[in-house]
Amino acid sequence: MRSLGTLTGFNSLFRRSKSSVTNLNKINERRRVVVTGIGAVSSLGNNVVDLWQKILNCEAGITKLGSEFKGLPCQVAAQLPREQLQIEKYLSKSDLKVMSPATQLCIIATEEALQTAKLDPKQLNFDTLERFGVCVGMGMFDLSEVYGAWQQLQKGYNRVSPFFVPRLLPNMPCGHISMRHGLRGPNHSVSTACATGSHAIGDAMRFIRNGDADIMLAGSGESCIDPLSIAGFCRIRALSTAFNETPSQASRPFDKNRDGFVMGEGAAILLLEELEHALQRKANILGEILGYGLSGDAHHITSPSEDGAGAALAMVRAIKDAQITKDAVTYVNAHATSTPAGDRIEAQAICKVFGDHVNKIRVSSTKGHHGHLLGSSGNLETVILIKALAANKIPPSLNIEELDKDICVNVVTKPEIWCHDKQKTRVALKNSFGFGGTNSSLCIASYIG
């Protein structure tokens, strides 16, 4: 039966190829990519509804770390409310054995994305499943898994789990989602540090635009809040240590007294769809991915270049790819993690890109609410941006008591109406930057049918 199904799939592929040859006059028509489903798990809740409501309420999901972190300079993190996850609702005991925590979170976020998109893969035919892909990544694996396996090895070779390596591989969230739902389209994983989630969305958008797929699940998951990871980031002086007694105030992008980022965990998945495909099935369109820009700093393993050239280049390329002018952009969802250098350099890069128009652009970073999810930050923040576009509200930056004098942009500190004309298309950039000098910028707009 498998061989027959595969043959049927190949035949359908050839039929599509023949059809495309007869439509060469349309070759220059660019396929549009829209968002029809979103799902998220974070310290602010186990679904998008709770996440967005807490953003609007200016709540922070950052808490004190447990006793196992005693002695480390940083004592705060944006941890998941695991007792509310209801993992058993989605995953069996066998699933938990073979899946890393990050993969488990991706599965849960995927279920919500499919539900909000009103798309059940079990109801799709073989041809559609061949055009339905997955682009989900992971920034870094859980270091406690490696340490735990090493401890088991000291007790004997047979004590090492046969699932040890599969649980670590960054492409396994992508693989498990594909296998779980029978998705035979592009199966692609991204691992570009803190730009992972944003790159995954951009790559998935291009798969659809280029005709490799009609539907893509895109995003990332991260779950590595463990003593070794916290210690490692403390050693490079990246984490906040000045607000251990007031966790909710620790993450403060653009504030004068910021002293480092707060590690978070979670997952976010978006369902991207080719516009005509979405319209044909009468899907609820939440937003449109207009453009995608990438660049490299070619500067330092952890620090961005002082002139912000890499960040600026990614934004310029996203705007160009979107085929719009820079004055169409009215909001930038910043990467800003609450580090002294990073926030300042990004703000200056935004000013460099937009020039005089920067006075008409509002900027915020939601990491004050949910911390920095490393490889899952860009995708979680894109989900928040999609909600902002749909709700016509700009999310705020938390904990700004005094704006740093070197921040040259208009930072939003409380929820604001985006545009008083609800029928006007709203356009934003979503920035994500990672260690190794990898940069990504997405241009996203509200969808006016």
| Alpha carbon distances (Å) from 29 to 25, 32, 285 | 9, 9, 21
Which two three-digit tokens encode residue 416? Answer: 């604001």
Q: Which of 66, 214, 208 is nearest to 144 (CA)?
A: 66
**Residue 194 annotated among the catalytic residues of the structure:** yes
Q: Of 106, 135, 194, 351, which residue is the catalytic one?
A: 194
Torsion sign, CA atoms 393, 325, 253, 220: positive
Rounded to 5 degrees, φ, ψ at 222 are -150, 130
Write out the catalytic residue numbers: 194
